[in-house]
Structures are given as C-alpha cells and as structure tokens.
Structure 1
Amino acid sequence: MNEEFLHFLWQHKFYKQGLFYTSCGQKMEVIHPGLINTNSGPDFFNAKIKLDGVLWAGNVEIHYKASDWYRHNHYKDSLYDNVILHVVVSDDEDVFTGKGRRIPAWEMEVPERTYQDYDNLLRNRGWIPCQGMIDGVSGFELAGWVERMLIEKLEKKVEGIETILHASKNDWQEVLFIVLSRNFGFGLNGDPFERLARQTPWKIVARNSDAPEKLEALFLGQAGFLNQGRTDDRYMSLLQREYNLIKHKYGLEPIPAHNWKFLRLRPGNFPTIRLVQLAALIARSPFLFDHLLRCNNLSDVRSLFYSEPQPYWINHYRPFASAPEKSKKLGKQAVDLIIINTVVPLFFSYGRLRGQEYFKNKAIDWLNQLPAEKNQIVNGWKKPGIELDISSAAESQGLVYLKKMYCDQRKCLSCRVGHRVVSQNTTRI
C-alpha cells in the first residue's frame, strides 16, 4: 500500500466513514483536505481541520507508519514545522517537529474493497491496467478525459517549441524547419533528421532554396550520403560538386552516414527519399510558415505539402543505385502525419505564446477533421475489454499520450479512468 494510494484516499475522502479521533484523543473533522504538493515539503498544503471544535489551517503529512516521519528526517526540516495533522495507517510512534511540538496523528482506515480495486489495477497485466474494467466508465467521461490528454500533450509541445524559438531568436521559420525536419524522419530517423537541421543553419537553407538541386545537394551532403559513389552518375556528380561549394563556402560539417537507419524500412521511407522530399517542399515554399498562417482550411494545408523530388529519384531510392520507376511524391498518409506532428503543434504553440486563441482553436479543429492515425498504440485501444471507436486524429493523439504517459507508467490514480475504477465501489463521507 504505497503513499500515492494514501494521498488519493485523503484527497478524495475515500477512507472509511465514522467518528474520527486523533492519537491525542481529540475529536477530528476534515473541513478541507488541502491542496496536493508536488514539490518538496508536506504532502498537502492549506488543509482545514477541526480538532475538538477548533479550526486549524495548515499542512498535512501522510505516511503508512508514523515512524516514517523520522525515517524521512522530517523532524530536521523546517518546512514541516507547520504540519497540523499526521495521517497514517499505523500509528506506531509519537512524532514531534524540530521545535519539539507534538503532531496529532490520525489512523486512516482503508476500505477493503477500494484497496482491492486498486490492487487489481496494479496487478493487471493487460495492455492497459484497467483492461476489462474500463466498461464502468461512461463514454462521455472517457471522451472528456481523452480531450484533456490531447490538450496536455499540446501544452508539453509548447515547452519544447518555446525552447527552439528562444534559441532561434524568435524566428518561426527556423522553428518550423527544425520541427518539420525531425518529423520527416517519421519516428525511426527523427534524431538524425533533427541533428541535420540543427547542424545546417536555416539561413543557409533559405539562401540555397532557389533551386531544388541545391537543397538536395545540401541535405544529402550534410547527411553524409555524397561522400563516395560512381563517377559515371552525372546527377550525383552534379550534387557532389554543388555540395562541396556550399560546404566550403559556409564551413559546414556533415553528420556521419551511419546515424541513418534503413533496416526494416520500406524503400519509400528510406531517409534518402525523405531528405529529397524535404528539399522539394522547401524549394517550392521557402516561406512555408507564412503560407501556413494564411491557410483557411485543411485542404489548403495539404496542398502545400504535395511536392515531388527531382526526376532522378523516379528510379532511385539511394544515390548511385538505380531501381524500378516509382513516383516519390509524398503520399496522403505521410502528409497527414506531418500536419498532425508539425503543423498542429506549431499552430497551437504560436497561438499559446502570442495569446491568439484563433490559432489554437484552428489546430484542434484540424485534428478533429483528420482521420485517426494507424499504429500499434491506436490499434491497442481496440482490444477486447477496451474496444474504443477511434475516428479522428484528435482522439488518437489523446489516446497515444494517455497510453505512454499514464497507462505505461501506472499513473492510474492520476487518470480519470483509473480514478473511476478505484472509486466506483467507495462511498464518500
């Protein structure tokens, strides 16, 4: 029985009902349990407790055993001097503050059924802890929680984007280039794509955006793919010469080619193809962020990303190695993923940081219009015992975040679904 569970019981008043008396024999009434503290110091701030009819306002500390007060050295910490109540399951020792004041203790009785429901969550080895129990949560309540997860995810994205924005001296186009580059890695190659973007200043990219060949040379060269190859490949020889000029002019250094992953990727997802697709996109719209801000609907956004690399790539997946002909234009699913992972977080952040709700609302509206992503996590939410109907990217994004940040980390008591499962058989006081 961990302290997180005891915090949950205290915060929501899910302990057993009855007349309460402290270890000092004082009649106790909980007026307000206080606000949970996520920093150092007592577990709950600003609680209001009546002891023998006298109202006390202060902090509350919670332990399984009262002696944990000494084991955690709270008596040496002045932050705990204004604790007015020690909530415990086992009152095995009287405790005192560093100033010698005895702190009244109260033994909280844990309802057996509530503990059993919580224990079942912890022991459940299903895809999510509440698998097989989630049917007790209404669809309305679940939808509200998934929406909250989406907003929480986007707010966290704001933090990362704000860091990039500060480093770029408030250049939103450079922020877009870095975030977009990472997402052109489509997960597996995200890190080397971002490294390339950070190692290739946006100003240099912009100066060479007048021709797609220059950007292909810049990106493939910076990725380490132009170091060697056949001399009879005229187009690659052209790119090699172009890159050498740019490299020496700006003092660039390529990243090692071994950083890129090809194994188990379909040829259309090879990083070489994604790099030239990115080059084609920027060559077509070097001021992409400004164009995006002027988009009124989702079809306008999609149209900006439908670009195609140079003809050389119709029958190539790698430099110097020919292959059967196939268009290398970005597909609809890839474009939608870029909108979900790049455009939406940027618009939400732009609106959040500039105080313009219009852009935040537009970002969420586009997510609601986009189809749900297809991946292992989304499919997992359709397993027996869960069986959710997921239709939009807003829902899939919220559920992916819920799975990673709450279910996988067993943060059930911080989740509305887990809260409902644990409390469904509990009568509040």
Structure 2
Amino acid sequence: MNEEFLQFLWQYKYYKPGIFFTDRNQQVEVIHPGLPNSNSGPDFFNAKIKLDDVLWAGNVEIHANASDWYNHKHHLDSLYDNVVLHVVLRNDKEIKNSAGRVIPCWEMEIPENIMSEYQSLRKHQGWIACENKINKISRFEIDAWIERMLIEKLEQKVSGIEALLENSQNNWQQVFFVVLARNFGFGLNGEPFEQLARQLPWQYIQKNADSPVKLEALMLGQAGFLELILHEDKYVQTLVREYRLLKHKYALQPMSAHLWKFLRMRPGNFPTVRLVQLAALISGNPFLFDKLLSCETLAEARKLLAVQPSEYWHNHYRPGVESPPKSKKTGSQTINLIIINTVIPMLFAFGKLRGNFDLQQRALDWLSELPPEKNNIVTGWANPSIGVSALSSAQSQGLVYLKRNYCDLRKCLSCRLGRNVLSLNSE
C-alpha cells in the first residue's frame, strides 16, 4: 500500500468512521491530524490526539505495517521521539522510540468506496487518470488549480533564473540573453542556442549592438555557419571578414555547425533565420531587458519584439544560398512565444527577487491577455471526454505544467483535482 495514500486519508480524515482504540486499548480521538512534513522526520507535525482522557500534542508517523518503523530505522532516530501515535494498516509489531518508550499504535481502516476509487485512478491507462471523473468537479475548482499550476511553474522558472544569476555575477542582461537565446531555438534547437549564448559574453554583444552586420557575423560565426561555406556573394564575404576580426579580438572559438538541426523543419524556422532575427532584436537595443521592464502594456512589448533582419535575408534562409523572396520579420506567433517563454518569466523573476509585486502582477496579466497556445497537450485537455479548454495563455501554461508534472507522473494525491475525485466518494 502506498504510504502517500495513507497520509492523504489521515490528513483529510477519510478513514472509516467509528470509535477507535489503540493496541493498548486506549480510546483515540483525532482533534487535529497535524501538518504534513515534506522533509526528514515524522509524517505529520503538531498533531493533537486524545488518548482516553489525556490530550497529547506531538507528531504522527504512518506506515502500512508497524514493523516498517524498524525497517526505516526510526527506532535509532531521535527525530521520532516525539511521535505520540503510530498509524498503520497492520499492527504486526510493538514499536519503541530511541528512548525505549512504547509508541501507541492505531490500525486505520480504509472505506471500500475510496479504496476502489484510488485503485481506479492508479490503474487507469487513459490520457489522464481522472479523465472519466473530472467532469464532476466544478470549473471554479479546476480554474483555481490551473492558476496554482501556473504560479508553481513560474516559481520553478525563478529558481532556474536564480541559478543563472549566480553563474553570471548577478548580470541580468547576460541572463536575459541566455534565456532569450534558448527560446529562439523553439525547442528543437534550444540546446545549441543556449550553448552559443553561454559562450558569447553579453559584453561582446553590447559593444557591437550598434552594427547589425557585426551582430549577424557574431551570431552566425559563433554558431559555425561561416566556417564551411562558399563565399561567392559579397554579403557573406563581409560577414566572414567581420567574424574573423571579432573572433581574433575576443579569442572566440566557434561551435560545430553539426549541432544545429534543420531536418523536417520549415525554412522560416531554420536556426540561421532565428539567429539573424535575434541579432536584429538586439541591434540598437543593448539594454533590451531594461526596455521590456519599462513596458506598461503588452502592446508595447509586442512592438519592441517585432523586428526585421537585414535586406539580405529577404531572399535567403542560409548564408550564401539564395531562395525565393519572403519576409523574415518576426511573426505574431513567434512574438507571443517569446513573450510567454522569455519575457514573462524574466519579469516575474525580477519582480519576485526585487520585491516588486506590481511587476509580478504585470507578468500574470500579460499571460491572461495572450491567447492560449496550440499544442498536443492543450488539445488533449480540450477533448470532449475531459472538456477543460484553455481560455488564455495563462491557462494553457498551467495545463501543460499540470499534465507533465502531475498527470504523467500519476501524482494524483498531490493534485487538488485528484484529491477532489477521491473525496467525491468520501461520504
């Protein structure tokens, strides 16, 4: 039996009702089950348990079998000396703490209906475990949990950004460049884009931000795209010449071009196109992050991110390879993804780490203004058998996080929706 399930039953008092007695024939009354403990030590802190006429304040430990107390070495750990009640399914052994005191034990019984529902969740092989029951939960409850998932995802992003700040001497511009570059890879090329940004210090980008040609040379050259190409056209010759000068000046070592993926990709998404779009975005904007911080509205941020690479790329997807004319301006969908995956996490992190609540709220408001993303997970939630459609990017972000971090991992007991499904049969 999963101990997490037993802890869930104890916390919400979903065990079979009745008059309870310990193994020492003491009548048990649970005044308060205590607070769950996610760290080392007993499962619940500060519980209030009445044994006969004596009120005990202390901790509670829960096991499937009483003998697990010894299997887990709790009898050698003083952290468990303040346990006032041992809750088990099977009392197969008297247990003592490290001080030699016998711990009262109570056998908890599980109601058949809740047990059946729990087994159903664990065994269900559908898209999500509760897909046949989620329609019994109110949309208000679902939306509240989706919002919680969004905040949890952003908190996770904050932790990642904090780690980047530590490695860059608290340089927000450098961190922004790394996060922005990774997201310009749009998944498939995320890793090489991040590698490029980490190997190319922001100070070099900043010093050349007034020259679109130098920025393109830096980006394409560092990516390895100027090493093994024929230099027939003049523009590529210029890029190669500029990169060689910058490479020598900054002692740069280019990446290998084979790290980049082009296969089964639309030409507009080629990494070469994304690199020159990134160069165009930074060109003339050496303090791009500061400008985004000062944007009061989503429209201002969108306008700032709408850029057009140099004229050469109007009829090129790769350097030196001519193609039919087509604009390489960052499109509306691309801008939305940059805002969702880069701008908003950075604004939220900056606001949280600087104690600026207004900035955090702005990030959340912008997500609520943006349309929901289109991907397989969002589509799966909207399936008529589940019926949870995302109404904004804030909700689609929350739903994607919920699916990947709870549903796919079968963490139903840690999910408010999973707990609600189980509680439907708690009466």
TM-score for both structures, normalised by structure 2: 0.98
1:315 counterpart residue number = 315
2:168 counterpart residue number = 168
- Relative to 1, partners in 2 of residues 1:323 and 1:250: Cα closer, same or farther, differing over 3 Å? same
* Deviation (angstroms), 1:222: 0.8
User: Secondary structure at 1:381's aligned position in 2?
Assistant: helix
User: Secondary structure at 2:283's aligned position in 1?
Assistant: helix
* 1:310-363 Cα distance to aligned partner (Å, 9 max, x none): 111111111222221111111100000100111111111111111111101111
1:9 counterpart residue number = 9
CA distance in 2, matches of 1:342, 1:253: 27
The one-letter amino acid paired with 1:373 is E
1:402 counterpart residue number = 402
* Deviation (angstroms), 1:192: 1.0
CA distance in 2, matches of 1:5, 1:311: 62
User: Secondary structure at 1:18's aligned position in 2?
Assistant: coil
1:39 counterpart residue number = 39
The one-letter amino acid paired with 1:404 is R
User: Secondary structure at 2:85's aligned position in 1?
Assistant: strand
The one-letter amino acid paired with 1:202 is W
CA distance in 1, matches of 2:262, 2:42: 51
The one-letter amino acid paired with 1:152 is E
1:210 counterpart residue number = 210
94-103 or 368-377: which moved more?
A: 94-103
286-295 or 168-177: which moved more?
A: 168-177
CA distance in 1, matches of 2:55, 2:10: 18
The one-letter amino acid paired with 2:232 is D
Q: Which runs of 5+ in 2 are unaligned?
A: none
Larger RCO of the pair (alpha carbons < 8 Å, separation 6+): 1
CA distance in 2, matches of 1:354, 1:197: 25
* 1:245-299 Cα distance to aligned partner (Å, 9 max, x none): 1111111111222221112211111111100000000004221112112212111
Mapping for residues 91-110 of structure 1, pairs under 5 Å: 91-110=91-110
The one-letter amino acid paired with 2:101 is R
Mapping for residues 239-258 of structure 1, pairs under 5 Å: 239-258=239-258
**Matched length:** 427
256-265 or 355-364: which moved more?
A: 256-265
8 Å CA contact 2:148, 2:398 repeated in 1: yes
* 1:60-95 Cα distance to aligned partner (Å, 9 max, x none): 111111111112121122222221111000111111
The one-letter amino acid paired with 1:67 is S
1:123 counterpart residue number = 123
| Percentage of pairs with the same residue | 61
The one-letter amino acid paired with 1:352 is K
8 Å CA contact 1:47, 1:59 repeated in 2: yes
1:61 counterpart residue number = 61
8 Å CA contact 1:134, 1:385 repeated in 2: no
CA distance in 2, matches of 1:255, 1:223: 5
1:179 counterpart residue number = 179
Mapping for residues 272-351 of structure 1, pairs under 5 Å: 272-351=272-351
1:235 counterpart residue number = 235
CA distance in 2, matches of 1:148, 1:201: 36
Mapping for residues 15-30 of structure 1, pairs under 5 Å: 15-30=15-30
The one-letter amino acid paired with 1:151 is I
In the alignment, does 2:50 pair up with 1:50? yes
CA distance in 1, matches of 2:422, 2:15: 12
User: Secondary structure at 1:42's aligned position in 2?
Assistant: coil
1:262 counterpart residue number = 262
Q: Which runs of 5+ in 1 are unaligned?
A: none
Mapping for residues 132-171 of structure 1, pairs under 5 Å: 132-171=132-171
* Deviation (angstroms), 1:171: 2.5
1:225 counterpart residue number = 225
CA distance in 2, matches of 1:393, 1:282: 26
RMSD across aligned C-alpha pairs, in angstroms? 1.1
User: Secondary structure at 2:159's aligned position in 1?
Assistant: helix
8 Å CA contact 1:133, 1:385 repeated in 2: no
8 Å CA contact 2:231, 2:320 repeated in 1: no
* Deviation (angstroms), 1:9: 0.2
CA distance in 1, matches of 2:155, 2:297: 23
